[in-house]
A and B are shown apart, each in its own frame.
Chain A
C-alpha cells in the first residue's frame, strides 16, 4: 500500500525544542509541590494529596526528551513525593491514635451522637441495612410507618 504520509517530514524535524519551554512547566511543578508541602501541616488531607500528585506529574512531563531532571523539576518531584509520604504518615498516625486512644474514641462517639442524634454503631447498622440518613433521623424523608 502506498502511504504518502504528509506528517513524516515535519515529525522528523520535531525533536529539538527550546529548553526553556520545559523550564516553565518545571517552575509551575515546583510551586505546586511547595504548596503541597505547606498544606501537609494544616492536616487537610485532600489538598496535599491533590497538589503533591499534580506536582509529581508536572515534574515528569517537564523533562521533555531529556533523560535527567532539571533542578526545579527535582525540587518539584522531591516536594511532591515528600508531601504524599507525610500525608500518608499523618493519616496512618491519626488512625493509629484513634484505634488506641479510648478517650479520643469516646469524644468522637459523643460528638457524633450530639450531631446525628444517634450512636455511631446504630448509624453504621442503618447504613448496612440499606436505610438512608433521612430514615433514621426522621427529618428528611416522611416515615410512613409512624403515620399508621
Chain B
C-alpha cells in the first residue's frame, strides 16, 4: 500500500533540511543567475535583431543558452539530492552535470526547449494574426489559445518533471528511457505535484513584493520540496 507524504510534510522536511545550508544553495543560485545573465547579454550584444539572419542567429543562440541552462538545472537537482541525503553541498555542485552525463542533460534540455516552443506555437501564430488584424474575435481566440497552451505546457512539465533526478539516480539510462520512466513515475502523481507547486504561489507573490530578493530563499525551498517529492515517490515505488 502506498503511503505518500502530504504536501505539508514534504515542505516541512524541506525547511528542516535547508537549515544551515542556505549559504551554499544561495551561492549556487547566484552562479546560475550570473552565467545565464552574462550569456544572455553576450547574445544580445552580438546579434542584430533587425535582419532576418540576425533574428535566426538570436533564436539559435537562445536555444544554446536553454541547453546550458538545462545542464545547470541538472546540477542544481544534484545539489538538492545531496542536501536531502545529508551530504555536504557546495555552490560548485551546479556544474556537476557538465562533467557527468552532460550529453544527456543537453539532449533533455533541448527536448524541453523545443517541445515548449512547439506547444506555445499555436498561441504565437494566433496572437500574431490578432496583432496584424486587430479583430476582437481573434483576441478572444488568442485568449482561449493562451489558456489551452498554458494548460498543455503545465501538463507537459508535470509529466517530465522527474527526468533530471532520474538521470542522476540512473546514469546508465538512455534519454528515451529517462523520458519513459518519468512518464511512468508521474502516473497518478501529477495531481500531487501540481498541488505542491500551487501551494508555493503565496510565497512567490510575497517575493514579488520584495522585488525578487526573497526568491533567494524561496527558490531553494521549492526545489528542496520537489526533491523530497521525487524521493517520496521513488520510495513508494520500490
- Which A residues contact B (CB, under 8 angstroms)? 1-8, 10-11, 13-15, 17-18, 21-22, 24-25, 46, 49-50, 52-54, 56-58, 60-65, 84
Contacts and interface: CB of A to CB of B under 8 A. Distances in A.
Interface in B197-235: 203, 206-207, 209-211, 213-214, 217-218, 221, 228, 231, 234-235
B3 interface: no
B2 interface: no
B17 interface: yes
Contacts of A60: 15, 203
B72 interface: no
Given A52-B209, A57-B206, 9 more contacts: A5-B234, A11-B228, A14-B86, A50-B210, A57-B207, A57-B217, A57-B218, A61-B221, A64-B15
B17 A17 contact: yes
B182 to A, nearest CB: 12
Contacts of B86: 10, 13-14
A11 B122 CA distance: 43
Contacts of B170: 3
Contacts of A49: 209-210
A58 B217 contact: yes
Nearest to B237: A3
Which 7 pairs, one residue from A and one from B, show the smallest C-beta to C-beta distance?
Answer: A21-B19, A53-B210, A10-B85, A65-B16, A21-B20, A64-B16, A65-B12
B128 interface: no
B22 interface: yes
Interface SS of B by simple majority = helix
B84 A7 contact: yes
Contacts of A62: 19
A63 B85 contact: no
Interface string B62-106: 000000000000000000010011110000000000000000000
B13 interface: yes
Contacts of A58: 217
B169 interface: yes
Contacts of B206: 53, 56-57
Contacts of B218: 57
24 contacts: A1-B181, A1-B237, A2-B238, A3-B169, A3-B234, A5-B234, A5-B238, A7-B234, A10-B86, A10-B87, A11-B84, A11-B85, A11-B231, A14-B17, A15-B16, A50-B213, A53-B206, A54-B210, A57-B210, A57-B214, A61-B221, A63-B12, A64-B19, A65-B12
A65 B214 contact: no
Contact of A46 (B19, B87, B211, B238): B211
Given A53-B214, A57-B217, A8 B238 contact: yes
Contacts of A3: 169-170, 234, 237-238
Contacts of B234: 3, 5, 7-8
A4 B173 CA distance: 13
Contact of B169 (A2, A5, A84): A5
Nearest to B220: A61
B184 interface: yes
Contacts of A57: 203, 206-207, 210, 214, 217-218
A22 B206 CA distance: 21
